[in-house]
Amino acid sequence: MEPDLRDPDLRVFECARCSEPVWATPAGGAVEVRCGYCGHEDRRELPPLTSQAAEAGSAYRGALSREVGRPRTVDLSISPKGYPARPTKELLREKLAAARARLAALEPDDAERPAVEYEALWAAATLASTFVMAKDPLRARAALESALADQHAPVYRALVLARLARLAAHGGAEDLAERWLAAIPPGLRVPEIAVDVRIARAMLARARGDAPAMLDALGPEDALFGASRPVAMALLVDAHERRGDIRAARAAYRRGSRGAAMRFAGALATFDLAPRTRARTARVGFLALGLVAFILTSLPLLATNHVLAALAVIVVGALGAVVVRSL
């Protein structure tokens, strides 16, 4: 029996032994869990989610205020060294376990620590994304909450919290999403975090059926960049469609398809966004393919002296192009 992921008091983690999800409601600042897969029993101390907010100060891409001058990578579109373009879940788990082991052996002020923390963050975030795409919110939640326990740098905690809020909002857990967002350390001037927070708030507005609030939450399009831009653009298309502005939705769809078409299409499908615009795009694609096939099969006529037949091919091709463009 799976847990109610809308419960704002529930905590979900990966089992320390087999990495399958475990969950429980905290009591006395700790949580006791027993894995239903391997039987491993564990007790975890749970510091307050906002316990490190005061340390953030006004850091820009820094970890703690004492680490100013030690910039951290925050663009999750940049994979650490040694990863293939499309890592498998098995490889991600292996790399994540190795990064956690290295973190346990490093001192807080070790020069190597920021890079290892980023690798642990990237592997966990990528793993969670694979589960989101597979429509498995329980395992996605477990991966992200476990990542939150790994991280102490406010910038990295903020990225995880924003993605937890996004996941909760998409699942209709509005109170939980607000709790995750409230735990994000203040004073962080990091554009990548701002984008993820905008996405989470747009997801919340969508769950409430408020399309104008979605657009307000997303803000100006030129501020939507980095690893989360495809999701942000997919939400933008959805917001325009929900407002009934189909022309704006189509235009946003075309802009979203530039540069990261596969990830943009994946975001639309994963979060069930803009169904009418997606259906229209599929129709246009099929018609365009049919038109190309018709023209290619009719090319021999153009090389003959059958003037009327050749003219008919040209006219049909032109009309077809107009129809495809108008859809």
| Confidence band of 71 (pLDDT split at 50, 70, 90) | low
- For residue 327, pLDDT over 50 is answered with no
Q: In sequence order, what are the residues at sequence separation of 6 or more whose Cβ sits closer than 8 angstroms to the Cβ of residue 323? A: 287
Position 49 scores a pLDDT of 78
Q: Does domain 48-194 have CATH number 1.10.8?
A: no
Higher pLDDT, 315 or 103: 103
Stated pTM of the model: 0.84
Quote the mean pLDDT of the chain: 85
**Stretch 14-40: mean pLDDT:** 93
Q: How far is CA 167 from CA 6, 96, 247, 271, in A?
A: 10, 21, 29, 10
Cα 39 from Cα 15, distance rounded (Å): 10
Residue ranges covered by each domain of the chain: 48-194, 209-273, 281-326
CB of 260 closer than 8 Å to CB of 230: yes
Higher pLDDT, 126 or 305: 126
Q: What is the DSSP letter of 60?
A: S
Per-residue pLDDT of 224-276, as tens digits, reads 999 999 999 999 999 999 999 999 999 999 999 988 899 999 999 999 999 99
| Confidence band of 28 (pLDDT split at 50, 70, 90) | confident
**Stretch 146-170: mean pLDDT:** 94
Cα 218 from Cα 236, distance rounded (Å): 7
C-alpha closest to that of 232 among 190, 182, 271: 271
Query: From the CA atom positions of the chain, what is the Rg in Å?
Result: 24
**Stretch 148-168: mean pLDDT:** 93
Higher pLDDT, 324 or 111: 111
- For residue 311, pLDDT over 80 is answered with no
Position 64 scores a pLDDT of 39
Position 321 scores a pLDDT of 52
Position 186 scores a pLDDT of 81
**Stretch 8-16: mean pLDDT:** 94
Residue with tokens 């229209």: 280
Tokens in use for 179? 């709790």
Position 187 scores a pLDDT of 81
Q: In sequence order, what are the residues at sequence separation of 6 or more whose Cβ sits closer than 8 angstroms to the Cβ of residue 196? A: 158, 159, 162, 163, 166, 228
**Stretch 78-85: mean pLDDT:** 92
Position 46 scores a pLDDT of 87
Per-residue pLDDT of 93-111, as tens digits, reads 999 999 999 999 999 888 8
